[in-house]
Structures are given as C-alpha cells and as structure tokens.
C-alpha cells in the first residue's frame, strides 16, 4: 500500500514543484504524479510505497522544492524501514528555518517571503481507515502571523453610544493614544453634553430630550427600575422597530418606538425618556477599562438593522438564511464551523449556562447532537490553562432564564455581565498562551438602545430576504461595541476600516479566512458577498513586540454581583425574550434527542410567555440538566 503526498495551494498562482529522493530509490517504490500545483486546489504531488522497497533500518528523504514569495520552500517526507514496512515523518524547511521532523503531529512554519508578504506552510497526516496515512502540505498567504488562537465573545443588545459613548469625551483626562488609520483621523465619534436629542409630543410635553451621561433609577407602574437595568422594559429590536428608530436617517425615532413598549408595561409615555440615557464610564468599569487598555472601534456596525439571530448568523455564517428577524428556526446554512471542520481545523463553542448554547439552538439540525464541540466556561478555562485552545473559539454569556443573565441584554442588570466579561478576560490573561490569542468582544445588535450614527449602506450583491420583508441587505445595522484585545495592540487605540467598507460582524469571518489562508475554502463553503468585501482586523495589531495585559476587575465581586437585588431572577410576570424561548425549546429538543416539530414549536411558543412559564418548563426538565 502507498501514501499519497498532496499540496493544497492556497495561493492565486500555480506552483512548480520538483521532487527528489535521497538516496536514489527504485521508481517501482515511488513516483511523481504532478509537477504543477494549481492555484486554490489540492494537487497530488507524488506517492511512496510503504509496504516494500524500504530496507529495515534504512531511510529515504523525499524533498519537494518550490518557490513561494520568491523564497525557497522544501516540503519533506522521510521513510524509515521497519520489518512491517516503513515509518513516516514530515518536515518543512524555509530558508534557514526548519520545523523539525514529526512522525505523529502537524508541522508548521510562518515566514515573510522576499516579496514582503507573509505565508504559512503546514504539513499534516490524513488518515485513511485500514491504510497508511497520506500527507497533505498546505501553502497559503496569511495575515496576523503572531496569532495562533482566535476567541470571540458575543454579548447582547447594546449600542455603542449606550455603553461607550462617553469613553473619550474629554472630561476625565482620558484620550485616544492611537487612531487606525492614522492619517487625518477624525475625533472619537462618541457623545457630548447637549449634542443629540429625540423629541416626541407625548414625552416631556414635546420638549427635546437630550442624551445624558449616566443612567438613573426610574419608576414604572409603581415599581422602581434600578439604574443598572435601564432601559426597562426591553426596547424593540425587530426589523420594523429599528426602521422607526432610524427614522429618515436622523436617528430620531428611538423615543417614538419606545413609547409603545413602556406603555405596554403600564408605564407612562414620559418614562420613554429613559431610552436617551446612556451609561457613564464609572458605571461600567470593566468594559470601559478593556476599551481604553486595548482597541475599540467607533465605527463597527451590526450586520443587519434588526435583532439577535440574523446578526449572530452573520458572524458565524455571513448570512441569515434569508431572515431579518428571529424566525423560521432552526436555520440550516453553512457556517464557519463547517468550513473549519472541512479543513481539519479545531473549533469550540463555550457558553455560561447548563442550557443549550444559542449557537446550538439556532443551528439545531446541524449541531443538536454534537457534544464534541460544545462545552461550558469551565471547559474554556481548562483549555486556556492546559494550552489546548482550538483554532477558533466562540463564547456565549448566559441569557437566562436558568440563572442570572450575564449578557448585558436589557432590561437585565449590567453588573453580572460586567463580572462575566472580567472573568473571561482574566481567564485569557492568565493563560500561558496569552500572547498567541486574539480576543474580540462584540455585541450582536443594538437592541433598541440609542445611537446617534446613521447606519451606512452595505455593498450590493446580497440576495434579498426570503421572509416577506423585501429587505435587500443593502444597509448595515446600528453601531455596536467592538473591542480587540491582543498583546500586539497599542493601548488606547480607536480603529476604523482602512477601506471604503465599514467593520461589521463579517469582519470576523474575513479575518479568519485571511489568517488561516482559506480563500478557496470560503469561496465554496461560505460564499457570502459580505465576507468578500469586509475589512479584516490585521491593521489593529500594530505592535512589533508583545506587551503586558493590565489587571481588570469588576467593581464588586461576582458573588456580590449575583446577590444584588437588581441581579435577582426576574419577577414571574416579566416577559421572556426570543432567545430565552428558543433556548428552552432547544432544551426540550435536546432531551427528546430530535428537533421539535412545527406544531410542537408553535405550542411551546404559545406556552412560554413569562419567567413564571420558564420556571415551570425548567422544573419538568430539571432531571436532565447537568450540574452548574
């Protein structure tokens, strides 16, 4: 039996490859297949016999020479004879660098070619059941050579202005230290006193209501609404609500839309003015410190001017199954996880609850029975400590209703979310692989909270929605917080796109594509036009040497945050949001070990209205839940 040696050429041009064995070997025991590796394809280069021709104890080295970026690259395979046949080992040489021989694991070298571009060359064993393993080498041009692991944490439903609008307002001595791009950078695009307002005749006698720094307690229906839960009740986030909020491109419809949500909660129209309150840096010490200590974008937009599921789908799939609202689940479309699996690259989804992750919920038909790639935050911490992080990690907070919400989602208290963000940051900070990790903190959508920047037009070419809205995906969503954490990021950075296309959630996918050199795999596996045009995060990592990470701690301990009155489980009559309803349904499907039928989902949706309903639902399924 033979082993086939192939080359996956991730470059846009063909590579000439010359194979030479040393010492010479009878051509009965090896042979060339092709001397040209076509661009963006897998090409079989040569084969070697494993069962005959190799004398016990003797060895042969096969060198496949090529030129990459005007630099000599040698792909090597070594056979050592045994009584049963031969052992195999692989190595890569580039210039004076050598990966060393490996008989059971991948090898890799990253180098800068004579053309000044960065490339990655890898070698891997491809096992075939009952046969000798084949070998696949891969050559690709890449970005971010200092990164070995990408970790994305996606939080919930807050606009940029709502959480970070006052980050650099010039009143507390903090100012950006670095702008990307740096030429003629405009000022930080945040908030200023008396700068922006909404106006509605039903609120405050029709007077202008200006954006204010710092949230305050409110009273609705004789109940005190703590400042850490503003806005309360939950604002509108559906496509139709966002259209009202944006208005005619003036961002002046937030109060008008919020009036209906406040009055439905038996409040008065005047209480809709709370939608114009935003958090001060002092109220959010963790996300503020993270943004000031690393890089924050003041021009990162949600991918869709709508709610959670479409925007989370764009960060994981570059599309949303034709939907602009949380509807029609589960969605069965190709994802980044599928692409990574097809390339033999590792991935994990970790979430902060024993309930099914939102990723598994959204793509239940694909991942509902997958226990290999899903785990809890404790598993994530173990992977960070034990240096077993996958190539790509996606993190999720707790959305409730089993335990405290840690996602920042209105109207839940932001204090536990701050503690959770600090916990994740410190897990990564304490990892021995910290300098190899790119950590990105995102929010999926603005969740109806105020922002003053009009969403820009999106590049044309995306298929229109199939859910009856007629939306052509030709507009981005409202701005959301986006923070990039790395040992190679200048503290105090504010970054924007260096192209004509703004950052949005598909920038994560574009970054993964170019970091891993997977242009061809994305073209076939994730053919989203948004990914094609999205800017990557390569410019943000601009330090030549690794730097220290500061200590960042929440203002109160996680246990104290969870025990605070505002962080208590919601009152029984508080409505469930779409995420919570879907996750509870996914839990039932997971217990049943099958997707729910349409009638079952319809019945569940009618049953699950409030947190009281959720507790009844959970009580029935409690025996099937793992420990916290």
Task: Examine the domain organization and report whether 439 and 401 are in the same domain.
Answer: yes
Q: So what's the pLDDT on residue 129?
A: 66
Task: Examine the domain organization and report whether 383 and 452 are in the same domain.
Answer: yes
Q: So what's the pLDDT on residue 184?
A: 65
- Asked, for residue 302, whether it belongs to a domain, the answer is yes
pLDDT in tens, 593-619: 888 888 888 898 899 999 898 889 888
Q: So what's the pLDDT on residue 401?
A: 85
DSSP 145-198: TT-SEEEEEEE-S--HHHHHTTTT-SSSS---SEEES-TTPPPP----TTS-EE
- Asked, for residue 416, whether it belongs to a domain, the answer is yes
Q: pLDDT class for 587, splitting at 50, 70, 90?
A: confident
Q: So what's the pLDDT on residue 374?
A: 97
Could you give the number of structural domains in the chain? Answer: 3
pLDDT in tens, 386-421: 999 999 999 999 998 888 899 999 999 999 999 999
39/56 Cα distance (integer angstroms): 38
Task: Examine the domain organization and report whether 400 and 511 are in the same domain.
Answer: yes
Q: pLDDT class for 581, splitting at 50, 70, 90?
A: confident
Task: Examine the domain organization and report whether 115 and 187 are in the same domain.
Answer: no
Q: Where are the alpha helices (DSSP H) in 26-107?
A: none
- Judge whether residue 628 has pLDDT over 60: no
- Asked, for residue 242, whether it belongs to a domain, the answer is no
- Asked, for residue 397, whether it belongs to a domain, the answer is yes
DSSP 233-253: SPPP-SHHHHHHHHTTTTS--
Task: Examine the domain organization and report whether 116 and 179 are in the same domain.
Answer: no
What average pLDDT does the segment 293-305 reach?
98
> In this structure, what CATH number is given to the domain that contains residue 105?
2.60.270
> In this structure, what CATH number is given to the domain that contains residue 440?
3.40.720.10
Task: Examine the domain organization and report whether 11 and 34 are in the same domain.
Answer: yes
- Asked, for residue 436, whether it belongs to a domain, the answer is yes
- Asked, for residue 253, whether it belongs to a domain, the answer is no
54/64 Cα distance (integer angstroms): 19
pLDDT in tens, 192-229: 999 899 999 999 999 999 999 999 999 888 889 999 99
Give buried/exposed letters for 581-602 (b at 16+ CB in 10 A, else e).
Answer: bbbbbbbbbbeeeebbeeeebe
Task: Examine the domain organization and report whether 494 and 617 are in the same domain.
Answer: no
Residue 330 or residue 404, greater confidence? 404
| Domain extent for 551 | 150-213+276-565
Q: So what's the pLDDT on residue 594?
A: 83
Q: pLDDT class for 139, splitting at 50, 70, 90?
A: very high
Q: So what's the pLDDT on residue 330?
A: 81
Residue 363 has phi, psi (to 5 degrees) of: -115, 50
Task: Examine the domain organization and report whether 452 and 500 are in the same domain.
Answer: yes
Task: Examine the domain organization and report whether 77 and 209 are in the same domain.
Answer: no
Asked if residues 422 and 555 have their Cβ atoms less than 8 Å apart, the reply is no
Mean pLDDT (the chain) is: 92
Task: Examine the domain organization and report whether 408 and 467 are in the same domain.
Answer: yes
Among 101, 119, 141, the domain boundary falls at: 141
- Judge whether residue 567 has pLDDT over 70: no
pLDDT in tens, 17-48: 999 999 988 888 899 999 999 998 999 999 99
Q: So what's the pLDDT on residue 366?
A: 92
- Judge whether residue 540 has pLDDT over 60: yes
Share of the chain above pLDDT 90, in %: 71
Among 109, 141, 173, the domain boundary falls at: 141
CA atoms within 13 A of residue 334's CA, in its CB half-sphere: 15
What average pLDDT does the segment 526-541 reach?
96
- Judge whether residue 451 has pLDDT over 90: yes
- Judge whether residue 560 has pLDDT over 80: no
pLDDT in tens, 62-98: 999 999 999 999 999 999 888 777 889 999 999 889 9
- Asked, for residue 370, whether it belongs to a domain, the answer is yes
- Asked, for residue 108, whether it belongs to a domain, the answer is yes
How many residues comprise the chain? 628
Among 565, 589, 611, the domain boundary falls at: 565
Q: So what's the pLDDT on residue 98?
A: 93
Task: Examine the domain organization and report whether 135 and 181 are in the same domain.
Answer: no
Task: Kindly state the helix (H) or strand (E) to which residue 619 belongs, with its residue range.
Answer: helix 611-621
End-to-end CA distance of the chain: 50
Task: Examine the domain organization and report whether 579 and 560 are in the same domain.
Answer: no
């Amino acid at each position: 039996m033979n082993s086939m040696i192939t080359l996956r050429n991730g470059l846009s041009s063909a590579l000439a490859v010359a194979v030479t064995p040393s010492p010479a070997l009878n051509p009965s025991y090896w042979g060339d297949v092709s001397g040209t590796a076509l661009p963006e394809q897998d090409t079989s280069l040569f084969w070697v016999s494993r069962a005959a021709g190799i004398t016990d104890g003797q060895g042969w080295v096969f060198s496949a020479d090529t030129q990459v970026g005007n630099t000599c690259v040698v792909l090597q395979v070594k056979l050592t004879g045994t009584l049963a046949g031969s052992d195999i080992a692989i190595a890569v040489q580039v210039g004076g660098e050598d990966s060393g021989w490996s008989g059971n694991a991948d090898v890799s070298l990253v180098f800068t070619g004579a053309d000044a571009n960065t490339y990655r060359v890898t070698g891997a064993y491809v096992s075939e059941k009952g046969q000798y393993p084949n070998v696949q080498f891969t050559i690709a041009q890449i970005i971010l050579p200092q990164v070995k692991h990408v970790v994305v944490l996606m939080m919930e439903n807050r606009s940029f202005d709502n959480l970070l609008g006052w980050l650099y307002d010039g009143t507390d001595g903090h100012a950006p230290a670095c702008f990307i791009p740096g030429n003629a950078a405009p000022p930080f695009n945040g908030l200023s006193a008396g700068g922006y307002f909404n106006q509605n005749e039903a609120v405050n006698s029709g007077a202008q209501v200006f954006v204010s720094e710092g949230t305050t307690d409110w009273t609705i229906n004789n109940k005190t609404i703590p400042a850490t839960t503003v806005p309360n009740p939950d604002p509108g986030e559906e496509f139709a609500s966002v259209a009202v909020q944006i208005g005619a491109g003036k961002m002046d419809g937030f109060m008008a839309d919020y009036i209906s949500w406040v009055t439905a909660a038996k409040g008065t129209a005047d209480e809709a003015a709370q939608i114009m309150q935003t958090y001060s840096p002092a109220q959010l010490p963790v996300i503020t410190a993270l943004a000031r200590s690393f890089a924050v974008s003041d021009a990162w937009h949600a991918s869709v001017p709508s709610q959670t599921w479409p925007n989370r789908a764009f960060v994981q799939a570059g599309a949303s199954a034709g939907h602009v609202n949380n509807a029609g689940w589960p969605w069965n479309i190709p994802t980044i996880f599928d692409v990574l699996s097809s390339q033999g690259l590792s991935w994990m989804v970790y979430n902060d609850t024993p309930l099914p992750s939102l990723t598994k919920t959204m793509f239940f038909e694909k991942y509902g029975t997958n226990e290999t790639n899903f785990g809890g935050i404790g598993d994530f911490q173990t992977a960070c400590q034990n240096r077993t992080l996958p190539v790509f990690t996606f993190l999720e907070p707790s959305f409730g209703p089993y335990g405290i919400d840690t996602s920042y989602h209105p109207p839940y208290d932001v204090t536990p979310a701050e503690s959770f963000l600090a916990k994740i940051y410190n897990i990564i900070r304490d990892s021995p692989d910290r300098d190899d990790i790119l950590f990105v903190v995102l929010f999926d959508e603005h969740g109806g909270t105020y922002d003053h920047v009009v969403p820009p037009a999106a590049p044309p070419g995306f298929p229109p929605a199939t859910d009856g809205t007629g939306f052509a995906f030709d507009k981005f969503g409202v701005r959301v917080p986006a923070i990039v954490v790395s040992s190679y990021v200048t503290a105090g950075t504010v970054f924007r796109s260096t192209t004509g296309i703004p950052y949005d959630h598909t920038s994560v996918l574009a970054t993964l594509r170019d970091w891993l050199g997977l242009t061809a795999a994305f073209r076939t596996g994730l053919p989203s036009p948004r990914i094609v045009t999205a800017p990557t995060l390569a410019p943000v990592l601009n330090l030549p040497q690794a730097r220290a990470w500061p200590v960042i701690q929440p203002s109160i301990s996680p246990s104290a945050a969870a025990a605070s009155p505002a962080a208590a489980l919601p009152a029984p009559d508080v409505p469930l949001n779409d995420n919570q309803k879907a996750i509870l349904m996914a839990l039932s499907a997971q217990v049943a070990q099958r997707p729910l039928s349409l009638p079952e989902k319809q019945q569940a949706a009618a049953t699950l209205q409030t947190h009281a309903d959720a507790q009844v639902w959970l009580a029935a399924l409690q025996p099937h839940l793992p420990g916290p």
